[in-house]
Chains A and B, each alone.
Chain A
């Protein structure tokens, strides 16, 4: 680790001001990604602005037909929340499958989506459930949020404050974990919300994406069989020692079928 200044932000405005004033400053949420990066000296921020003390960023609420989750809400809280379990069980199931207990006790939803790791689980939920990302500046539709590998629509001084998930009629998530890290090799979230079907795939490509062919097939008939014949192309998918692009492409169909089965 290189030296940096540590500061605890008192409010979202305070944190925004701090990162706005200094290009080298970084927000700190659960630290599960950022701290290892610092330890390996892969980043050299001037300041760390800790969001951990800001009460307004925490908590889970039901607001009309949506579940709103504060950016600093830990994975374990989403996994065990009665509100989430009641309204969107697929989302609590997803959170329950992130990493390991240590990671779930520290990692946050805001940190996860701001980081936009291609193998992270939450991007599939945000895109698949057509959620809205709420920041200190604006509301961003899921389709506009995830730009590219580790890249989002967030401006440098923009802070995720919450994510609003519309409650779906049906939703399911299935993930094939990387055996070592437990990140998603492939994770698929399928959902039908207000009659519209979405199929969001994480892990397989450089950034989370919608599988439109499967969406169309499920729109016609909501069943695992309906997508059994839909083949994901391997073109442009990730390839590493754990899974080649062809294997990932194959897993997209397998996981999508399982997600539909889980959704019921």
Chain B
């Protein structure tokens, strides 16, 4: 291993820029003549708009233009994934207008935009817009929305149902339940979350009259996807006239994948006002307009035989999609959820039904893990419950049902084929590191201090590296999911990598450079990684679903292969040897078995100054692009163990220990991987104990600021104990699986299993997330002093 190659814990190249305030985020960009947009948003969750009068606002100081829904007749925001219901019918796909057309459907739904010289002027003018609302009854819970008589959101979605989807063999599952020795049942809620990246969303739209070109600067995880969706579906702008730039982006966690109204508004309005237009969300707007995550209500049943072998899993889920279909919303509770319900186990039959509902809440879409945390939560909570009911140690019950080490490739009953894995080893590693064996003693010691201590295991598997395009297409995806890389070797041998993935905290500038350093033998200073600008990079699909390295990294490997192959031809010419005899190693092309060689830089120079060059057979230059379409998903997996203590008097939960043993395939930079795991764990623990998007019955987001929406903070978290064990991905050239989401997938179940373990001696059953102090206190009080609760 070289000091800068694969496996080296290289410090992140990008960090000096970020940590010294020299990053360039969208809001840092100020275009000449720039003006500011402010959106008037609905204060009602559901209302008819009888009249929107912008006359006085237009006359206010500094105002250039005011547009309401009637003024902006463009396409609606598209949904990128078509789901079919059980009965074969396509999902309900109601329009998602950029600015409300006659009706608003959630608090924060944009009604009009004011464009003014300053932000304050735009805000002042927005107060002058007169809106005549006819409030309508609202519905906020997915279950309630599907009940007869519920307020109806869209004409096109009868009963607020988007689709009623299923997957798996129902008959096989029913048969297995009929012969089961034991059935465990569980009702659980997967709480709604707000992504809350540190950087709020922002967008700048600009139009160049001379060239007819539009530029959109935006806080996006995937600028080409935005260009495609906005250009082709919303604004009908040809792609060669539309440039989308996603510069430094301060976190996304999924919420910056989607095409949002504000992007279309500033782009569309720029030629109307003849000035570049900037919009930046205030934190309150982020709460009211960034796509939110999770929000499932699930009933699950697990059938077991007398030895504790899983026979079948039956799952029924209601997913809340919010008021409109966000870009990938429809795929999350279906193909990213149902397909993961086999988990790490040999459960031979699985059947899942998912009804997705429209409600008067902010749209819901992918959030770190996206569907997979929800699946993991169902499986790992019910497995733990079964272990408790059957009095089998939860680790032992898992071992009995793990997919054997020699069973790969393993076909699950819910469509996926796992290529590799070893759940036994990660479980053992985690148990050892967590001193699982010594827990009973720690529990006793805690009891002496008046604390209830619990330990909880969760194993998980995810499907990452999204995705083989043909598979995704067959399942309803409306886009391809390959990735691209261009490797531009410069005449003096330095290189620039242009990747279609996008880094918004993941450290690609370092990890991708390490791949190049490893293969081409160049120091990191000679390698730059460029992303996020559709005018620079080849057409790429961006970053989400832990796909950057498995898919984007693989594209880069292919591009490097092409560069090395061409380099060999050039070197053969320079060394007057046969191409077949040329080897490339440590940055040198050499003739096999001799000490005759040329350095990579010399070959690059020859390619651009082709004085002595095989010009008849070979084009000059050393600049290669590759597209990589994955053959399968990748399957990171692992085991998390949480240990918690509950204060009996207050119900407060303290996480005292957290261990993770993960299999991410080959590790390129262990330090970055560790950081990704830490961040994911913090979010997973946040979901389990602190975070919750709460709507009042009339659709107001009660937790609309950090004063009420509780983010996990450093003092809520223990020092994590993390380790990795690699089984290599068998179908991508790097053997990598992806690591970005794992922490958020395993942690909620591990924590909630630990809470359940701590409370089990009191006879307390399953509690829902977040396990807030009051929730726990009430459960304890109901058992110990029934009159109090």
Contacts and interface: CB of A to CB of B under 8 A. Distances in A.
Interface string A112-137: 00000000000000000000000000
Contact of B708 (A3, A181, A247): A181
B649 interface: yes
Interface residues of B, number: 25
B690 interface: yes
Nearest to A258: B649
Contact of B703 (A2, A241, A250, A251): A241
Interface in A39-53: 40-41
A232 to B, nearest CB: 12
Contacts of A35: none
A247 B773 CA distance: 9
B120 interface: yes
B694 interface: yes
B490 interface: no
A207 B149 CA distance: 42
Interface of B is mostly: loop
Contact of B650 (A41, A180, A251): A251
Chain A interface size range? 10 to 19
Interface string A242-256: 111011001100100
Given A3-B120, A242-B772, A179 B777 contact: no
Given A247-B777, A247-B778, A254 B708 contact: no
Contacts of B253: none
Contact of A180 (B706, B778, B788): B706
Interface in B119-157: 120, 123-124
Contacts of A2: 124
A179 B650 contact: no
B707 A254 contact: no
B587 to A, nearest CB: 48
Nearest to A257: B649
Interface in B698-739: 702-703, 706-711
The A interface is mostly helix, strand or loop, or mixed, namely loop
B685 to A, nearest CB: 12
Nearest to B127: A41
A222 interface: no
Contacts of A246: 788-789
A176 B650 CA distance: 8
A40 B649 CA distance: 37
Nearest to A181: B707
Interface string A38-80: 0011000000000000000000000000000000000000000
Given A3-B120, A254-B649, A179 B702 contact: no
Interface in A199-254: 241-244, 246-247, 250-251, 254
Given A3-B120, A179-B690, A247 B774 contact: yes
A179 B686 CA distance: 11
B284 interface: yes
A196 interface: no
Interface in B636-654: 649-650, 652
Interface in B743-789: 772-774, 777-778, 781, 788-789
Contacts of B789: 246
B709 A254 contact: no
A1 interface: yes
A216 B41 CA distance: 54
A251 B647 CA distance: 12
A242 to B, nearest CB: 7
A100 B707 CA distance: 12
Contacts of B788: 246, 250
A243 B774 CA distance: 6
Interface in A158-189: 176, 179-181
Interface centre among A180, A241, A243, A246 (most CB of B within 10 A): A180
A180 B774 contact: no
B702 A241 contact: yes
A243 B649 CA distance: 14
Interface in B158-200: none
Closest 8 CB pairs of A and B: A180-B710, A181-B707, A254-B649, A179-B710, A247-B774, A241-B694, A180-B708, A243-B774
18 contacts: A1-B120, A40-B284, A176-B652, A179-B690, A179-B772, A179-B773, A180-B690, A181-B707, A241-B694, A243-B773, A244-B774, A246-B788, A246-B789, A247-B773, A247-B778, A250-B781, A250-B788, A251-B650
